[in-house]
Structure 1
Amino acid sequence: MQEEKNSYKKFNNYLRKNEEGYFSYNRIEKYLKKLGNPLELTPFGYIIGKLLIPLILFIAFLISNDYILAIISAVFGYFILDIILKTKDKQDMKVIKIELGDVYDLLNIQTSAGVFIGNALTECYLVASNKRFKMKLAELSAEINMTKNIEKALDNFQSNFNSPEIDNFVMTIKQSLITGQTEEALEDISDSLKERNLIEIQEDTKKVNSTANIIQLLMYLGIMTTINETLRQIQAIRSSTPKYTPSRGAVSVSSSAVVAYASNFLGTPYKWGGTTPAGFDCSGFTQYVYKHFGINLGRATYNQINDGYAVSRDELKPGDLVFYGKGGSPSHMGIYIGNGMYIHSPRTGDVVKISPYDRPDYITARRVM
């Protein structure tokens, strides 16, 4: 344990003495400080992380004999800390740039009321909600109150960020201290910052909308691919399933025969109260299909939910009846046909069609064969 402590001290001392280069203690300390250091890393911890993470990933994939992935993961592991730090900094700065506008407004109000800008700066932390921004503004306030050296306090505040907006803020305050033209400078910078923030928000909104549209398109393509695959399977079932011939003996119906027969009515228009191929409602469709096989179902959805016996989602098979509604009361139904799909007659203006069965208002399923 003592040897580990000594090794740590030696390496830490080496870093502190190393004033230049990539592994310079001061360079790493400033780098972490400007990015907010959300992981609370020391320069020593940062370097150890940069070395250990890629080494662990490399060995892990090397053991599985995946040499290419081992190299790729090692490179990724080397930069993972920087990615985390910069991502968090970017998230923080989005909020800070908006709150900086509130700081400008507060300073403008205070100085317009005759308050010296140095005194006004000590209250800026009150309008901030971002933890990092609020803490640094509080430190700025404390340093001004203790040292009365506003310029040095501003320099220290600036060193905590890697942001042109913060640089402009500090420069504006310093210039106003020299020129005394506080209100005009603050108002101009505040308006400019708010315009840039508005543009960024609009651009982010466009990105979100574009992403949402892409996701919706991919979901639609995925659903259509599944439906087309299901239709191909139905066509194969129809080709291989012998024509059903009613008999006077016991009823024995295959799920393939039910699916094949139900698919004959794809495109049939919805008709409220309809029970024939001229037009079906949801329960009229299922009743008509099963009647063809000599199985008599109740007329309405709330009747058919009591026919047969209940089956869980894990036990679903083609031919099972699936029910939908709110509060356990069924208002719609159809026939499960496999592949996560069901065939049904949805609503006025629609037709008998195939849709994904896994709706949020799903209630239960019944098996009647």
Structure 2
Amino acid sequence: MHKKLVSIIAALGVTLSCTSNALAAPLQEQYNSSLQQYQNALKGVQDIEGKISGIDNEIEKINTDISNTGKKISQSQDKIAEEQKKLNESQEQMDSEQNTYMQRIKAMYMSDSDMQYLEVILNSKSFSDLIANVENVKNLVQYDDNIMNNINKQKQNIDKQKKVLEADNSKLEKLQSQNNSKLSDLKNKEAEQNKLLASEKSEEDKHKADMAKIQGAMDAEKKKLQALSVPTAPSSGNQHANTNITQSSSGSATGLAVVKLASQYLGVKYVWGGTTPAGFDCSGLVQYVYGRLGISLPRTSEEQVGAGSPVTGPLQPGDLLFFEPGADGPGHVGIYAGDDTFIEAPHTGANVRISPLRDYCAARRIIK
């Protein structure tokens, strides 16, 4: 898209240089007006795409949070189930001991065990023997009560732990609900931005078509003048355009190899988390292309911005460009392709493409 624009402007420079006094002024005015509107629409498209890319990054983080919180909820529910199992086992043991206790009480009354306990005490041979026998009888009477008390305390402790786990699980589920609500809001925002993007692209295409028509009219006028032997010496503006192209093509052969390889994946769909030609996200494309050339790079744009060295002079093909600065680092990355363009996997709903160069927050040179 941008290269075509450069070509149109360069061609316009040639036309104007050879026919500055011959072309009708209205054509030039119309072209300038369409060019300005086209550039405004193009900037609008780039701004909206930047917003969509930022929303994509937020969605990625929320999806990670949802996944992590889901794992914590699953672990919490497993612990609650484990404590409930212990609680059920404790209740069963308590019921069993209580039943045994009741059977013993019933047997005691039926067999006059109180008299048996009394005989044990009265038949004591000495005072110390009496004290011991009284203590034994007391222990026998309290034995079942102690068992019941211990089981009941254990049950209370388990029940208390279960309530703590349930409270923690409730907090996690509330957090998960908030995460899902945020995700829904972000998707709605992204849908709104996509509608605006479609509108801006339609406006861009309209003015691009208008420019082509006007350029055609100017080319036709130029041919008429050339038939009258009007000189056609190149203008200084055209030489400047050619100089830019030459400079952008003079990068290292390896840097150009990066661009050439990346261009093979133009049209591949954007896939969040994608790292193969089946679908790329921005950093996945960069990592894959450099990996194919034997250069290992980190996975994310936040990590890739630390690779290589900062670019201090003019950009060269193969340089990495970073956009959307954030607290964790830049949220988007692309590969400089020369001629003020770069290759990127832009955002959900778009494909790998060549885009006009826009403001970036960092540039790194991987290949010296």
Q: TM-score range by the shorter chain?
A: 0.3 to 0.5
Structure with more relative contact order (C-alpha pairs < 8 Å, separation 6 or more): 2
Greater share of residues in helix:
2
Larger radius of gyration: 2
- TM-score, normalized by length of structure 2? 0.33
